[in-house]
Chains A and B, each alone.
Chain A
Amino acid sequence: MAKRIAIVEDDPDQRANYADAIAKKGYSVNAYGSRAEALAGFDAALPDLVILDIILGEEIDAGFQLCRELLSREANLPVIFLTERIDEIDKISGLRLGAWDYLPKPISLDYLAERISSLLRINEARDNTGPQRQSNAKTIGDLSLDQDALLVSWKGQRIDLSGTEVRMLAKLVRIPGNAVSYETLMNATMQSLVTNNTINTHMRNIRKKFEKLDNSFSCIKSEYGFGYRWSQ
């Protein structure tokens, strides 16, 4: 049975484009134009994955409200935010609401599709918890990173990183001690239009999340003018 994807986007053209592109990948798509519509649809049946625009019509935080609503019903529901800007996410922190990832507009439909499939796979992997699950976790020193399940832990403790952050971290630790250029990291975000600042912002967020657990964390080093390096 095809996975059901819900799209909430007020702009009809974008909504149609998303719906078409995702439907082509073999998913069943429900597209909604407003929060009320979406809520009505969710009442009927919860989808397997939700793509939310934050601003819906006049309601500037309708996306967040919907996210909160959905997660209260199904805590493990994967949610992807489509947004104008990363720092808005930073400010209101949609991720702290439990969203899995966010993508800035304009988005690449290929990346979107890839992200959807990856999140569904991750959710599946998480659902099949227990020892039977094949762990793809990679261990570098104190760091353990499971890119498939988007699970990261440091010295045995779980760290909540967004999908983008996990991918960037994975690129960084691929060959520990090697400097990774901004360009590589930009590719890892799977977004179009990424600047050094975006990378820096992501990296700072990652670093902060580690430091929250471990005050002496200093594995992520800046290679000013080039990129970053993981060194332990």
Chain B
Amino acid sequence: MLAALRGRFRGPRLGTKLAVMGLALLVVPWFSYQQLVEMERLLVQGQSQAQLLTAEGISTLFNGRDDLFNDLPLNLEDFEPLYAQPLTGNIRLDGQTEDWGSSDQLQYLAFGSPEGTADADFELLLGERDDYLYVFMRIRDQSVVYRDPEYLRLDNADHIQLNFIRADGEDGRVSLVFQSSNVMTGFVMDDQWRYAASGVADNRIQGALLPSGDEVLVEFRFPLALLGSRRYFGMTFVDVDDASARDTVRRTRTLPSAGKESFDLVVLGTPEVRNIVQGLGYSGARILVIDNQARVRAEAGAIQSPVANASEPTDGLDLSALFSDIRPWLHRLLTGENFTPSTQPTTSEENSAAARVIRESLNGAPIALRNRISKEQEMILAAHPIVSAEKVIGTVVVEQDIDNILKFQRTSLEQVLLLSVLSLVAVFVALLAFAGRLAWRIGSLRQEASAAIDHYGRLRRAELKSEINAGDEIGDLSRSVSNMLEKLHQHNTFLESMPRTLRHEINNPLNTLSTSLQNLAEEFPQVDDSKYLASAKRGVNRIGSIVQNLADAANLEESLEAEELEAVDLDNFLRSYVSNCAIAHSQTRMIYAGPNEPAIAMIADFRIEQLMDKLVDNAVDFHRKGTAIRIQLDCFAETLQISVSNRGPVMNEAVLKSAFDSMVSHRGPQNRLHFGLGLYVVRVIAEHHGGVAKAVNLPDSSGVAMVVQLPVAETEARLDAIRP
């Protein structure tokens, strides 16, 4: 079964092969994708380079400017750093935050109890504008105790203490006292924070408070110059609840541990640095100046939000969504790597990328990193160190998104995919059509070529018609096959004329021989009785008959063409034939079984007689002595079947197949007068009548039957069936 299957399947067909080869076209999208990835890399690299250059350019502005960076203590670990955000608009000191910017962007810093719900807890906002530091506080306080002007002491009412280091290096102490007019007044205080150092309020400090429910909203400002260049300070809210006892109930400090005699810090962006950077900010990029303690000292510009994408038409969105969906899959398919950036980055990752950039650049090496923020947004972080006296004193970080690169990549990817699919389809269709055409041409050529030679190896036609004018290799093939057929035809013609030529050439010397023998016998009558003369004459006769038989067989088809076909009743024909045959072969019993009704066929009667002669001779030769030879005629709708069967040895498969071939004899060497022409003649005659001849073993394996099938005559021909 398997072997049979393997035998039948020799290999893929031409179309399949071409289609498989067409798959090689899949390298086109692969190459395109590789190129795209490379281009993206180049573009990103270009932008990185540009950002690095920007960072470098900015950093050169700060090179050597230690003064801008060394205004903060080097070690900030003991303090909690607070940042003042730059304020864009004018601030009215009214206890309200509308002018600080939109409420959701305000980042409050909470102090006091961890829950933030205890009395005297406060939240803090710091802002900076025009060399003023603005402070907004939201203090939890059920009862606001204002300053009583009766008392000289300032610490027996709710107030805020500010401590800092003055420009001259001395400790500075300022209290902001809640006046009953909801105005805040600042006083420079003594060492004990009890009395004002001078009787006059410090009018550089202005503020307002706004009690609201159990909260007090406080807003005040003071000039940065007050703090000196270091700009750090601590803040303490002193809560007094009982208006009569006026004892300090609670203190809430910006200092983390109450026991420490130190300031809490407010670190402010260095204004000078910021001023320098501010002018450099350009759209789509954010510039950060960071000192060597990794503190942000200035910031300019903002990242363009990718909101613009939202305005794209819906189908574009779908398409890009589709592409971002298949991108990882495609990437993996085409490059064999995982497309990692697709995962949503966690905060730590983001931090780590930024941290790494800052760390590396602070180590003195310029660096540019690609950082994926979200599925839609990717950033490039470039950092260049700021150097002073061969020491890194800070770094400039330029952050910019690569949205346009990604967009470009996405569109290119779409185009590449679309083009690839289109070209693949087109090429596939073309290949299939080509393969089909090729297969069809080869097929028709094969058919014609195999039809040129029939089952018995006889040449049917001497040339091919199809593809003979084609210019390609198939045409060459056709021409060469045609050429071969033509040569074969010439050879065949030669072979066909051979027996006739042979007979002509042999008959003359044979005639000489024959007449010489006759003259010899005439001249020497005593020789006439010699057995040698008799055997010589027999030899001459035998040679003559051999040559005659060969020539007859060779000319059989030609002479058959000359025969006229007549409508003959085969039943009648065979009945009389068998009865006559019985006389000729008196040693052998012959039985005829016919339908007893007219079976009309268009035949040349002498030829069918010749055919029967050969079949009967064959049956007589092979029949077992004493058994009968059975001749039978069966009528079917389309055919009349003559079978001549005899009991005797059965034939094997190969003999059955070749029995009707020319020059094939299975009689063995003792039958020298047979040339295997008898059954060949039967076949040729049967085929000339439009029938077939075959040999079969009898079903019970008791002998063989030679079967000849002839077509039934047309209806009108049957009407004038004549002889015998």
Contacts and interface: CB of A to CB of B under 8 A. Distances in A.
Interface stretch (A61-69, A124-132, A217-225): A217-225
A55 B518 CA distance: 23
Contact of B518 (A13, A21, A200): A21
Interface string A4-20: 00000001011001101
Interface stretch (A44-52, A101-109, A155-163, A169-177): A101-109
**Dominant SS among interface residues on chain B:** helix
Interface stretch (A72-80, A142-150, A190-198): A190-198
A38 B511 CA distance: 21
Contacts of B503: 84-85
B507 A106 contact: yes
Interface centre among B544, B545, B580, by most chain A C-beta atoms within 10 angstroms, is B580
B564 to A, nearest CB: 9
Contacts of B511: 11, 14, 105-107
Chain B interface: which size bin? 35 or more
Given A106-B540, A224-B577, A225-B581, A196 B508 contact: no
Nearest to B583: A226
B512 to A, nearest CB: 4
Nearest to A193: B544
Contacts of A18: 515
A87 interface: yes
A195 B577 CA distance: 18
Contacts of B545: 193
B578 A106 contact: no
A30 B425 CA distance: 93
B541 to A, nearest CB: 7
Interface string B575-596: 0111111011000000000000
B584 to A, nearest CB: 7
Contacts of A196: 609-610, 613
Interface string A32-65: 0000000000000000000000010000000000
A224 B580 contact: yes
Given A14-B508, A106-B511, A107-B514, A197 B584 contact: no
B724 A224 contact: yes
B219 interface: no
A212 interface: no
Contacts of B518: 17, 21, 108-110
B487 interface: no
Interface residue range, chain A:
20 to 34
Interface in B678-724: 722-724
A13 B724 contact: no
Contacts of A121: none
Contact of B541 (A11, A192, A224): A192
B724 A222 contact: yes
Contact of A225 (B514, B540, B609): B609
A24 interface: yes
B577 A200 contact: no
A204 interface: yes
Chain B CB within 10 Å — which of A14, A17, A225 has the most? A225
Nearest to A91: B562
B541 A17 contact: no
Contacts of B516: 13, 17
Contacts of A179: 580
Interface in A177-232: 179, 192-193, 195-197, 200, 204, 218, 221-227
Given A106-B507, A224-B580, A14 B515 contact: yes
Contacts of A87: 555, 559
B653 interface: no
B407 interface: no
A221 B507 contact: no
A55 B504 CA distance: 10
A221 B724 contact: yes
A17 B609 contact: no
Contacts of B548: 193, 195
Contacts of B576: 223-225
A218 B724 CA distance: 10
A104 to B, nearest CB: 8
Given A106-B540, A224-B612, A200 B606 contact: yes
Contact of B605 (A13, A108, A224): A224
B552 A197 contact: yes
B512 A17 contact: yes
A225 B609 CA distance: 7
A197 B504 CA distance: 19
23 contacts: A11-B508, A11-B512, A17-B512, A17-B518, A84-B504, A106-B515, A106-B544, A107-B514, A108-B518, A109-B519, A179-B580, A192-B541, A193-B544, A218-B722, A221-B724, A222-B723, A222-B724, A223-B576, A224-B573, A224-B577, A225-B580, A225-B613, A226-B581
Interface of A: 11, 13-14, 17-18, 20-21, 24, 55, 84-85, 87, 105-110, 179, 192-193, 195-197, 200, 204, 218, 221-227
Interface of B: 503-504, 507-508, 510-516, 518-519, 522, 540-541, 544-545, 548, 551-552, 555, 559, 573, 576-581, 583-584, 605-606, 609-610, 612-613, 616, 722-724
Considering the complex of A and B, which 5 residue pairs feature the smallest CB-CB distances, nearest first?
A226-B580, A17-B515, A225-B580, A224-B577, A106-B514
